[in-house]
Amino acid sequence: MRASGSLLLAVLAVACAASISTACVDETHDEEVAALGPEQAGVPPGPDHRPGQPCITCHGGSGPAKTQFSVGGTVYEIEGQTMPAVGASVTIEDIDGHLWTVSTNSVGNFFVLLSDFAPHYPTQPTVTPANGPAISMATHVSRDGSCADCHANPAGPTSAGPVYAQRAMTP
């Protein structure tokens, strides 16, 4: 009787542990990560990977990346083109008036580590290209720091389109 009682307890413990671990799975998040697709060939994970994709999908609290960002995105040089805005400054101002400025890298990517700056929403981003005037976003960011969540390519009913450092020249 004791052996079967111990066996029953062991089976229950394993079943509970399994249900706890599966209860923590976020299938929606896993689907969002999978939808990003594989890494681009020849570009290892790091600051230059996945330009134009929503950084916080992987670099938010749910992973799979270990490094957490509060804000991240990609800036392109000229409206309608795909050349990255290298060396542009991106300034984030939160509702409390706290500012954080970061520069874009060789592929136009920028990110702010959550440990460095955790803005209180809404925020107001401003992009200043290396050779031009600052452009502030016309609206504020109200919920998350992953720029590509709203600024995916192409522009359309569900996207404002990519972030550009300079507006296109009109003839």
With b meaning 16 or more CB within 10 Å and e meaning fewer, what string describes 27-55? eebeebbeeeeeeeeeeeeeeeebbbbbb
Dist CA 56 CA 123 (whole Å): 16
The pLDDT-based confidence of 2 (bands split at 50, 70, 90) is low
What's CA 155's distance to the chain center, in Å?
18
Per-residue pLDDT of 63-83, as tens digits, reads 899 999 999 999 999 999 999
pTM score over 0.75: yes
Instruction: Give the closest residue to 113 by CA, choosing from 79, 67, 54.
Output: 67
Min mean pLDDT across 3-17, 70-84, 130-144, 154-168 is at 3-17
Output helix, strand, coil percentages for the chain, rounded to the nearest 5.
25, 25, 50
Q: Are 92 and 117 in contact (CB under 8 A)?
A: yes
pLDDT for 100 equals 98
Strands 123-128 and 135-136, bridge-based pairing: antiparallel
pLDDT for 3 equals 54
